[in-house]
Amino acid sequence: MKTNDRVCVLGMGFIGLTLAATLAEAGVKVLGVDVSADVINALKRKKCYFFEPGIEELLTKHAGRNLKFDVRLKDKSCNYYIICVGTPIDPVSHKPKLEYIQNAARSIFPYIEKGDTVILRSTVPMGTSRTLIMRMIEDGTGLKAGKDFSFGFVPERTVEGNALYEQKNIPQIIGAFDKKSDKKIAKIFSAFNGKLIYVPDIEHAELCKIIDNTYRDVVFSYANQMAMICEELGLDFNMVRHACNTEYDRNGIPAPSPGVGGACLTKDPYILIDLCNKLNINTELIKAAREINKAAVFHLAKKILNRLSALGKNVCSSKIFIMGVAFKGDPETSDTRFSTTIDLINYLKPFCSRLYCYDGIVPREEIEVNGVKSCSIRDGFVHADAVVIMNVHKSHRDLDVRKLAEKANRPLIFIDCWGLYDKQSIEAGGDIIYSSVGLY
Ligand SMILES: NC(=O)c1ccc[n+]([C@@H]2O[C@H](COP(=O)([O-])OP(=O)(O)OC[C@H]3O[C@@H](n4cnc5c(N)ncnc54)[C@H](O)[C@@H]3O)[C@@H](O)[C@H]2O)c1
């Protein structure tokens, strides 16, 4: 695509970098800005600090050419500014922390000119783009939204591990300040994606993102609660689920999980709750879903400890081997933020001194920071008393579990949280006890 536009993407994290690289691949000139000198120096060397398939190839192709990096803006050459910095929540109050987007907005004040466009892409509480960020820019620059600059919100909905594909192939939802802003935003996103969905205003687009993620958290919590009920009743939830879902299109009960992790689903429902609290709107369902999903991993930890004790094993000296530290396995990612494996480790640590972990992607040092030992799958099984599969990474599939377990202690507790293996085959020798989420 031939264009004179120059886009500044603020925040070179999971989201900003994949967007910047996608724009560069589409022929747009991009400046990636991040306040972290370490991040910028690595990117200048064409190295990415997280795992994302295809990203280093795009860096090799475009970095230093139409994809430049810097720790700050230095001139007025950009005419688009896309804010992609983090919007975490406070770990105690669960209230959204907006200072990163405020700082990013402030950093563009000296550079923004008449005719430019500002787009917020970070996930925010409804109302933030217009009443906080847009107003800040107006107050800080003297420019007026609509008259002098275009403004809007375009939520980021890609999945880590397949983000480069999804940037181009899933619809981009555009909520703009006015018609002119709609057109300006569409121009830059249509450089790489032909599927644009227009919603009436900024607030609709903000809410789309939050509603997406809250929906997923709520639906997963349903499966997780049903799984806990089935365990208590001595039934197999996955059998119930498959029977219910088969050739019955009205259903789509998802798989249960050892909790719901990751930086988005653990946070975005709280952003909605916070907004509703201010407006006195009932959020019981959303709150309950979060609590159920948090409890799922606690329930798993209790199950591991109870089973070890019931078998007469000394819990403290038992070896527990956990596979999968990233918050999900498919698509694979190196992201361990809010991984339920880390919650599991923290629950088990006071009781058990021999915790070992394997991950197909996460570097050893990042695993060991959690106070566990990192090891291979083969070594993890050696003298293990319990083996737990926490995510569906491809390296956890198609293993000869019975062979690997030959060197494990007997009986071995094998907790296959995602049902990757057949219970009967695993238990065939009578020396391995199989369990899953939704199956005691
Ligand atoms: N990670 C995901 O899969 C995902 C998916 C959808 C939406 N989101 C949303 O996208 C936003 C970004 O998420 P992320 O995972 O990419 O965050 P991240 O924490 O990986 O990256 C944020 C980056 O912004 C940088 N930064 C902070 N303040 C800055 C500033 N003033 N100027 C320039 N850079 C600054 C940080 O150094 C960091 O590198 C969040 O609002 C998140 O909720 C994330």
Do 151 and 291 lie in one domain? The reply is no
Task: State which ligand 1 atom lies nearest to the alpha carbon of 100.
Answer: 28
Cα 8 to ligand 1 centroid, rounded to whole Å = 14
Cα 83 to ligand 1 centroid, rounded to whole Å = 9
DSSP string, 403-432: HHGGGS-SSEEEEETT--S-HHHHTTTSSE
Best residue among 85, 101, 167 to mutate for probing ligand 1's pocket (most ligand atoms within 8 Å of CB) is: 85
Q: What is the CATH number of the domain that holds 300?
A: 3.40.50.720
* Percent with pLDDT over 70 in the chain: 100
Q: Is 104 in the pocket of ligand 1 (CB under 6 A)?
A: yes
* Percent with pLDDT over 90 in the chain: 99
Q: Is 230 in the pocket of ligand 1 (CB under 6 A)?
A: no
Do 304 and 423 lie in one domain? The reply is yes
pLDDT in tens, 371-426: 999 999 999 999 999 999 999 999 999 999 999 999 999 999 999 999 999 999 99
Do 59 and 169 lie in one domain? The reply is yes
Q: Is 421 in the pocket of ligand 1 (CB under 6 A)?
A: no
Domain contains 279: no
Cα 34 to ligand 1 centroid, rounded to whole Å = 10
Q: Is 85 in the pocket of ligand 1 (CB under 6 A)?
A: yes
Do 317 and 175 lie in one domain? The reply is no
In this structure, the residue with its CA closest to atom 10 of ligand 1 is: 122
Mean pLDDT of all residues in the chain? 97
Q: How many CB atoms lie within 10 A of CB 313?
A: 17
335, burial (CB in 10 Å: exposed 0-12, middle 13-18, buried 19+): buried
Cα 10 to ligand 1 centroid, rounded to whole Å = 9
Indicate the pLDDT class of residue 39, thresholds 50, 70 and 90. very high
Do 166 and 30 lie in one domain? The reply is yes
pLDDT in tens, 52-76: 999 999 999 999 999 999 999 999 9
Domain contains 396: yes
Q: Is 207 in the pocket of ligand 1 (CB under 6 A)?
A: no
164-203 burial code (b ≥16 CB/10 A, e <16): bbbbbeeebbbbbbeeebbebbbebbebbbeeeebbebbb
Q: Which of 82, 86, 104 lies closest to 19 in space, CA to CA?
A: 82
Do 28 and 160 lie in one domain? The reply is yes
Do 83 and 178 lie in one domain? The reply is yes
Task: State which ligand 1 atom lies nearest to the alpha carbon of 50.
Answer: 20
How far apart CA 56 and CA 47 sit, in angstroms, is 6
Cα 184 to ligand 1 centroid, rounded to whole Å = 23
Given a cut of 70, is residue 112 above it in pLDDT?
yes
In this structure, is the dihedral angle defined by the CA atoms of residues 352, 358, 362 and 366, taken in order, positive or negative? positive
Q: Which of 179, 202, 225 is the last residue of a domain?
A: 202
How far apart CA 289 and CA 284 sit, in angstroms, is 9
Domain that holds residue 402: 287-435
Q: Which of 19, 46, 264, 32 lies closest to 166 in space, CA to CA?
A: 19
Q: Is 409 in the pocket of ligand 1 (CB under 6 A)?
A: no
Average pLDDT (44-54) is: 96
Domain contains 440: no
What pLDDT, on a 0 to 100 scale, did the predictor assign at position 3?
76
Cα 11 to ligand 1 centroid, rounded to whole Å = 6
Q: Which of 202, 234, 265 is the last residue of a domain?
A: 202
Domain contains 132: yes
Q: Kindly give the interhelix angle for 340-348 and 284-310, rounded to the nearest 10 degrees.
A: 50
Q: Which of 169, 202, 235 is the last residue of a domain?
A: 202
Cα 382 to ligand 1 centroid, rounded to whole Å = 40
Do 34 and 154 lie in one domain? The reply is yes
How far apart CA 39 and CA 69 sit, in angstroms, is 10
Give pTM, 2 decimals: 0.96
Domain contains 220: no
Domain contains 325: yes
* The total number of structural domains that make up the chain: 2
What pLDDT, on a 0 to 100 scale, did the predictor assign at position 109?
98
Q: What is the CA radius of gyration of the chain?
A: 24
The upper half-sphere exposure of residue 417, i.e. CA atoms within 13 Å in the direction of its Cβ, equals 31
What pLDDT, on a 0 to 100 scale, did the predictor assign at position 439?
97
Do 297 and 418 lie in one domain? The reply is yes
Angle at alpha carbon of residue 256, lines to 253 and 262, rounded to 5°? 110
Domain contains 419: yes
Question: CA–CA distance from 262 to each of 127, 265, 267, 326, 340 (Å)?
Answer: 24, 6, 9, 9, 8
Indicate the pLDDT class of residue 1, thresholds 50, 70 and 90. low
Domain contains 234: no
Cα 373 to ligand 1 centroid, rounded to whole Å = 29
Find out whether 313 and 385 touch, Cβ atoms under 8 Å.
yes
Cα 82 to ligand 1 centroid, rounded to whole Å = 12
Q: In what order do the strands lie in the sheet with 80-83?
A: 67-70, 29-33, 6-10, 80-83, 117-120, 150-153, 172-176, 196-199
Do 49 and 159 lie in one domain? The reply is yes
344-358 burial code (b ≥16 CB/10 A, e <16): bbebbeebbebbbbb
Residue 251, token pair as written in the block: 């259903």
Q: Is 440 in the pocket of ligand 1 (CB under 6 A)?
A: no
Query: Would you say how long the chain is, in residues?
Result: 440
Q: Kindly give the interhelix angle for 202-233 and 237-245, rounded to the nearest 10 degrees.
A: 120
What pLDDT, on a 0 to 100 scale, did the predictor assign at position 2?
59
H or E segment at 119? Answer: strand 117-120
What pLDDT, on a 0 to 100 scale, did the predictor assign at position 103?
98
Given a cut of 80, is residue 15 above it in pLDDT?
yes
Do 311 and 177 lie in one domain? The reply is no
pLDDT in tens, 358-379: 999 999 999 999 999 999 999 9
In this structure, the residue with its CA closest to atom 18 of ligand 1 is: 13
